[in-house]
Amino acid sequence: MKIALTGGGTLGHVIPALTVMEKIREEDKDADFLFIGSTKEKEKSAVLSHGIRFYPVSSGKLRRYFSFENLTDIFRIMRGFFQARKILKKERPDVLFSKGGFVSVPVVAAAHTLGIRCITHESDMTLGLANRINAKFSEYVCLGFDTGVYKDSRYIFTGNPVRKELTGIKRIKGERKLILVLGGSQGAVEINRLIYDSLDEILPLADVYHQAGIHGDFSVKREGYTQVEFIGDELPSLFSRATLCISRAGAGAVSELGGAGVPMFLIPLGRGASRGDQIDNAAYAEALGKAWVLKEGSSFISQLSDILTDDERLLKMEASPWPMDGDRSAAAIAALIMNKEKK
């Protein structure tokens, strides 16, 4: 079976697609994969590290507001469509699995014109613009959260696939509490600033391990404080030891942390910076008792101190159930791709 994967814009689209790929490989060792993605080097490297073919295509950002760049991006999207069509016509995959992101739209559209089965996955609580377009051309739309909003039988709740190494995490307690800070693969300037400005208050309470991304200030050095641009193979160990994780509320991060039982202090991107998906994701995790969300206008350090010193609350957040195991999610999506299960 030959399977094409697409998605990109951030590693948050690429890594779940590769997780599903690994699940399919467990079932079919002879499955042949290719990935059609963006021109970003970090995404390309992540794909190539899994030993599959990578094809970059032109893409344009899908904005929900007026911008003159929308005009030039239309031509980039059209170019990406013809590039993707040429690749797909040459490779002739049996199915295309899209993880969303702006790069996926021309690829899904091209696959549809060639009669290739398409399956799309949406990580967030609601479909983004790219996936609302992709859904029109897809046999199934897999949903990361069971919201009950989408009634069409094509929409199937699968949960969000989580890397195998982050499932079945055994939680351990160290001599000192540990705060893990995640800002996504790109880092988060606002979170970085909050951490830098609050280290004097935080470090007496806990050690800090900070993924600062490309925007980090690596001149900041303190005892008990570790700062890196990107966390790699050490992430499972950090998940097992972290007393609390400060993070944005991207669906991937929320699903990984929720499934691993890591209490979350979430700082979602506001509606001015996104369509509001992170606000919805954060509210969902908070309603399940897995997270605390930074309240607008409230003191960051005051809320953080309250949570970090409340051991009973932390234990409850850790023990609260998460609705879908990430490995089962990957298996459910893999079954649909392989046409083994139709609901």
Dihedral (C-alpha) 248, 253, 257, 258: value to the nearest 10 degrees? 90
Residue 35's pLDDT is 98
Residue 185's pLDDT is 59
Dump the DSSP string for 16-50: HHHHHHHHHHHH-TT-EEEEEE-S-HHHHHHHHTT
Measured between alpha carbons, how far is 280 from 144 in angstroms, rounded to an integer? Answer: 12
The token pair at 10 is 């951030």
Question: pTM score, two decimals?
Answer: 0.87
Residue 280's pLDDT is 92
Residue 34's pLDDT is 98
Residue 38 class from Cβ within 10 Å (0-12 exposed, 13-18 middle, 19+ buried)? Answer: buried
C-alpha pair distances (Å), 203 with each of 183, 213, 266, 299: 19, 21, 19, 17
Tell me which amino acid residue 82 is. F
The token pair at 60 is 């344009």
Residue 341's pLDDT is 52
Q: Are 27 and 9 in contact (CB under 8 A)?
A: no
Reading the chain (343 residues) residue by residue, the pLDDT tens digits are 999 999 987 888 999 999 999 999 999 999 999 999 999 998 999 999 999 999 999 987 655 555 556 667 788 899 999 999 999 999 999 999 999 998 999 999 999 999 999 999 999 988 988 999 999 999 999 999 988 888 889 999 999 999 989 988 999 988 899 999 997 656 688 999 999 999 999 999 999 999 998 889 999 999 999 999 989 899 999 999 999 999 999 999 999 999 999 999 999 987 655 667 899 999 999 999 999 999 877 899 999 999 999 999 999 999 999 987 888 999 999 999 998 654 4
> What contacts 22, CB < 8 A, 6 or more positions away?
50, 164, 330
Residue 320's pLDDT is 94
Residue 188's pLDDT is 83
Residue 342's pLDDT is 46
